[in-house]
Structure 1
Amino acid sequence: MNRGLSGGFQHVLDMSEVCGSSADIQLAMTEFRDCILDTGLIHLPVQGERFSWHNCSEGDRSLWKCLDRLIVNEIGQWPCSHYHCLNARTSDHSPLVIRGDTVSHTVSMFRFDNYLTMSSEFTTSVQNIWRHQIAETNMYEVTRKLQL
């Protein structure tokens, strides 16, 4: 099942996600980036305005950041998915709208039938599948191998 995280994480991944003067945010940035990498999460592509938060100040105090984002653990079933960052109207955060595949996807539980282990080819088949490299995140790779 494809699960996603959304919301204001209150941290940026790097300084390209900040426009304006900001306090020292290097430690928080590094921790947030490491968390995303360690968990194998994938950012959905964004279209439209990139900065999703503004401090509502003007002049030298104006600050824009990419604080809101959509992150998923698997994108394989929805490769055309992306989100739009709309203009903020009633908040300092911009609303995010998910767009993409319109095909209905059904979710099924993993099921293993014990009778499969009685086949003389079972162990060899499982070994071959687990040796195969899949160029995706670790979680997607495990999910795909279990499906195979």
Structure 2
Amino acid sequence: LLRGDSTRWFQPEALSTRQQAFADRIEALRIALNRDLFLGLVDSESHYAVYRPGAGYARHLDCLRNNDSRVISAVFYLNEGWRDTEGGALRLYLADQSHHDIFPRAGTLLLFLSAQFEHEVLPATRDRMSIACWMMQRVHAEARAQL
């Protein structure tokens, strides 16, 4: 099984107060990243991800097939009182063939380049909740033609 989470996409036209607060902060971050790093980010999309105990997500990149629009992947964790012994880390694979585990503690925001860093979600012993978000550039004409 590639992925074991349940998702619920944010609906931009019907955001709750908390979703709007998250969207506003992501928008401010998108603008800052463009200003400082010239990434050409034009939009974002977000969804809740809930992993039940024992579920994970196999090693992957956050690029959709024939689509290079996702530039920055962001994960915001919602798990109060998380202990490392409960598992559930996001394992980020680094260029030197090593990896780094990030545990899903509430309030942690993880950012990485979508097309560059493979990652996986390791199983946990309790529900693991987060908001997954992607900041995107315009799809290039060649990629759009292949969709």
TM over 0.5: no
| Higher normalized helix content (fraction of residues) | 1
Larger RCO: 1 or 2 (CA < 8 Å, sep 6+): 2
User: What TM-score does the superposition give when structure 1 sets the normalisation length?
Assistant: 0.26
Greater Rg over alpha carbons, structure: 1
User: What TM-score does the superposition give when structure 2 sets the normalisation length?
Assistant: 0.26
| Higher normalized strand content (fraction of residues) | 2
